[in-house]
Structure 1
Amino acid sequence: MFKMVYLYFTDIRKDGKAFESFINRQVGIYKNLQSNPSYYFSDYASRIKFRNHPRVGFPSVYDFQAINHDRVLEYYKERFADASDFAFTFVGNFDENTMKQLAQKYLGNLPGIDREETWKDIGLEYFPGQLRRSFKNGEAPKTQVELFFHGDFEYSPENAYKFNSMLDYLRIKLREELREDKGGVYGVGLFGSASKTPRERYSITISFNSDPDRTKELIEAAKGVIKKAQKELPAMQDMTKVKETQRQSRIKNLEENRYWSRQIMSIHNNEELDFSSILLESLEEKINNLTPGDIKSAAAKFFNFQRHVELVMEPEEQPQN
Structure 2
Amino acid sequence: MKGEFVPVPMDYQKGKSENIFKREMQNPKASVFIASTGNMERSQKNTILMSMFDQILDIVYTEKIREDEGGTYGVYTQGGISRYPKGQSVLQIIYDTDPAKMENLNTIIHRELKSIADNGPRAEDFSKVKEYMLKQYNENLKENNYWMNVLDTKYFYGEDNHSNYLTILNSITANDVKSFVKAFLSQGNEAVVVMMPKEETK
Q: TM-score, normalised by structure 1?
A: 0.57
Supply the distance in 2 between the matched residues of 1:263 and 1:317 (Cα, whole angstroms): 52
Supply the distance in 1 between the matched residues of 2:65 and 2:171 (Cα, whole angstroms): 30
Structure 1 position 147, deviation (Å): 0.8
Contact 1:197 1:270 in 2 (8 A): no
The structure richer in strand per residue is 2
1:242 corresponds in structure 2 to 129
Contact 2:30 2:102 in 1 (8 A): yes
2:200 corresponds in structure 1 to 318
- Closer, same or farther in 2 for the Cα pair 1:307/1:257, shift >3 Å? same
Deviations 1:117-159, CA, capped at 9 Å, x for gaps: 54x4222221122110000124122110011111112121122
Q: What amino acid is the match of 1:284? A: L
1:208 to 95, 118, 131: 95
Percent identical among aligned pairs is 27
Aligned length: 201
1:137 corresponds in structure 2 to 23
Supply the distance in 1 between the matched residues of 2:44 and 2:51 (Cα, whole angstroms): 11
- Closer, same or farther in 2 for the Cα pair 1:268/1:224, shift >3 Å? farther
- Closer, same or farther in 2 for the Cα pair 1:150/1:264, shift >3 Å? farther
Supply the distance in 2 between the matched residues of 1:283 and 1:241 (Cα, whole angstroms): 18
Is 1:124 aligned with 2:10? yes
- Unpaired runs of 5+ in structure 2? none
- Closer, same or farther in 2 for the Cα pair 1:270/1:303, shift >3 Å? farther
Contact 2:121 2:177 in 1 (8 A): yes
1:172 corresponds in structure 2 to 59
1:278 to 151, 162, 173: 162
Matches within 5 A, 1:70-149: 115=2, 118=5, 120-139=6-25, 140-149=27-36
Contact 2:23 2:198 in 1 (8 A): yes
**Secondary structure of the equivalent of 1:123?**
coil
Q: What amino acid is the match of 1:224? A: R
Q: What amino acid is the match of 1:132? A: E
1:159 corresponds in structure 2 to 46
- Closer, same or farther in 2 for the Cα pair 1:268/1:226, shift >3 Å? farther
- Closer, same or farther in 2 for the Cα pair 1:268/1:193, shift >3 Å? farther
Structure 1 position 209, deviation (Å): 0.5
- Closer, same or farther in 2 for the Cα pair 1:138/1:252, shift >3 Å? farther
Contact 1:149 1:304 in 2 (8 A): no
1:297 corresponds in structure 2 to 179
Q: What amino acid is the match of 1:223? A: H
1:81 corresponds in structure 2 to none
**Secondary structure of the equivalent of 1:278?**
coil
Q: What amino acid is the match of 1:288? A: N
- Closer, same or farther in 2 for the Cα pair 1:166/1:268, shift >3 Å? farther
Supply the distance in 2 between the matched residues of 1:269 and 1:204 (Cα, whole angstroms): 26
Contact 1:130 1:305 in 2 (8 A): no
Deviations 1:212-265, CA, capped at 9 Å, x for gaps: 100000011000110000111323222210111112222333344433333433
Structure 1 position 298, deviation (Å): 1.3
1:260 to 141, 147, 151: 147
2:188 corresponds in structure 1 to 306
What is the alpha-carbon root mean square deviation over aligned residues?
2.1
Deviations 1:5-45, CA, capped at 9 Å, x for gaps: xxxxxxxxxxxxxxxxxxxxxxxxxxxxxxxxxxxxxxxxx
- Unpaired runs of 5+ in structure 1? 1-112
Supply the distance in 2 between the matched residues of 1:270 and 1:165 (Cα, whole angstroms): 23
Deviations 1:41-80, CA, capped at 9 Å, x for gaps: xxxxxxxxxxxxxxxxxxxxxxxxxxxxxxxxxxxxxxxx
